Copies of this chain bind each other. A is one copy, B any other.
Amino acid sequence: MSVTLKDVAQAARVSVSTASRALTGTGLTSERTQQRLTRIARELGYRPNPIARGLKTGQSRLVALLVHNLTNASFQVMAEVVQARLKALGYQMLLCIGGDDAQQESDTLTTLVDHRIDGLIVVPTGKNGAQLETLAKDVPIVCLVRRDDATDLETVLADDPQGAYLGTRHLIELGHKRIGLIVGRRDTTSGRERLSGYIRALRESDIPVDDTLIHAGHFVPETGATCCRALLDLPRPPSAIFVANHEATLGVLRVTAERNIAIPNDLSLLCYEDMPWFEWHRPAISIVDNGARDLANLAVDRLLHRMDAKGNGNDGVREYRVGARLVQRDSCRRFDAAKSAKSKSPPSKSSAAKSPATKPAKV
C-alpha cells in the first residue's frame, strides 16, 4: 500500500537502520549517504508511518485541544489558532468538545492519553483536578482560560480582573454611575474575577456598589435576557450595562431591541469577548477584548516549551495572564445625568423610536 522504510533501504542497498538514521537526520551517517537516502526517499514518495514511529518513541505527533463548545467565539479562534500553529510544526490537532461537563471531560481525557497525545491544552471544568494532575505526569498539559484550582498546572488566563476594570472604568469616565453588570457564575474563575474588576473600578471612583445592579448567571443567552429585563425594570434602571458574560450577550441585545431601547442613546452597552459580527452590527458594539488569539498563542508556546523540556519542567512560572483591551466602537456614549434626569421611568418606546440614527450613515 505505501512505501516503507524497508523499501527505501532496499532501493538504496543499505540496511533499514542506516536508512532510518539518514532520514531522521541524527547526523550519525556520512554526508553522502544522508543526501542519497533523502533523495531516493523523495523519489519513492516515502512517508514515515507515525503509528510505527509512535509505538517506538511513545509519541504520536498529536496534540489535543479540549474546549467546551464551538459556539463561543473565543473557542472558535482558539481552535483555529491552535490548529494552525500545530500544523506548522508537524502536529495534528485533536479537537474535543467537553460541553463544560465533568463526566465528558473525564472520559475524553482518558481516551486522549490512550491515544498517547504529545500534549494537551484544556479549558478545564474544574471538576477533574485529580485526574488532570495524574495525567500531567505523563503528558505536558496547559490549562487555558480557566484554572483548575485542584491542580498545580501551568495555566494561561485572560486578565479578567483588569478587563472588567477597564470596561467599568470606561463607562464611569463616560459619566455613568449606575452600571448594570451581567456576569458569569461565581464558581468560575472568570465570573469571580470580572466581578472583582467591576467592583474595584466602582470603589476607585467612590461609586457605591449596588447589588441590585449585579446579576450572575449561567453561560446561556437566556441569562442575558432575564438579567437585562430585571435591570431595566429597576426603579432606577442603569444608564449602562456591562455584559461580562459573553454567552449572555445575545439575550441582552434581544431585550433591548424588543423594548426599542436605542443604543447608545438610551442605554450604553459594553460587552466582553469579541465576535466577528460585533463590528458589523450597527451600532458597532464596544467590547473588552479578552485576547482569545493571544491566549491561544501563548498556550501553544507554553505547551511546546514543556514538550521540549520533557518532564524536567517543574520550574519557573506557573500562571500567565494575557492582558485585556478595551475596544471602543459605537455602543457606549457619554451620559449626562442632569439631562436624562427628566425621564424617571425606564426608556419609553416612543423615546426610543424617536431617536433615529445612532450615528450618521457612512455611505
Identify A52's interface contact among B55, B77, B84, B92, CB under 8 A.
Answer: B55
Among B54, B229, B280, B357, contact of A51 (Cβ-Cβ < 8 Å): B54
Q: Can you tell how many copies of this chain the complex includes?
A: 2
Determine if A79 and B95 form an interchain contact, defined as CB atoms under 8 angstroms apart: yes
18 extra A-B contacts, CB within 8 A, seeds A257-B281, A258-B363:
A1-B138, A2-B138, A49-B114, A50-B115, A50-B116, A51-B55, A55-B55, A62-B115, A70-B79, A71-B276, A83-B97, A92-B111, A92-B115, A93-B96, A94-B95, A229-B363, A253-B277, A349-B357
Chain A residues near B (Cβ < 8 Å): 1-2, 47-52, 54-55, 60-62, 69-71, 76-77, 79-80, 83-84, 87, 90, 92-97, 108, 110-116, 138, 221, 229, 250-251, 253-255, 257-260, 276-277, 280-283, 349-350, 352-354, 356-357, 361-363
- Asked whether A83 lies within 8 Å of B71 as measured between CB atoms, the reply is no
Contact A94 B94 (CB under 8 A): yes
A346 → chain B closest CB, angstroms = 12
Report 5 cross-chain contacts, Cβ distance below 8 Å, ordered by A residue: A2-B138, A71-B276, A83-B97, A92-B112, A277-B277
Other-chain residue from B116, B282, B353 in contact with A254 (beta carbon distance below 8 A): B282
Contact of B51 with A258 in the complex, beta carbons under 8 Å: no
Contact present for B51 and A60 (CB under 8 Å): yes
**Docked complex Cα distance between A277 and B50 (Å):** 42
User: When the two chains form the complex, which single residue of B1, B258, B357 contacts A353, counting CB atoms closer than 8 Å?
Assistant: B357
Find chain B residues with CB under 8 A from A221 CB. Answer: 276, 280
Residues of chain B lying within 8 A (CB to CB) of residue A362: 258
In the A-B complex, the 6 residue pairs with the smallest Cβ-Cβ separation, listed nearest first, are A257-B282, A353-B356, A95-B95, A250-B280, A70-B76, A254-B280
Residues of B within 8 A of A84 (CB): 97
- Docked Cα-Cα span, A80 to B70, in Å, equals 7
- Decide yes or no: A47 and B114 within 8 Å by CB, A93-B94, A277-B250 being known contacts: yes
Residues of B within 8 A of A356 (CB): 260, 349-350, 352-354
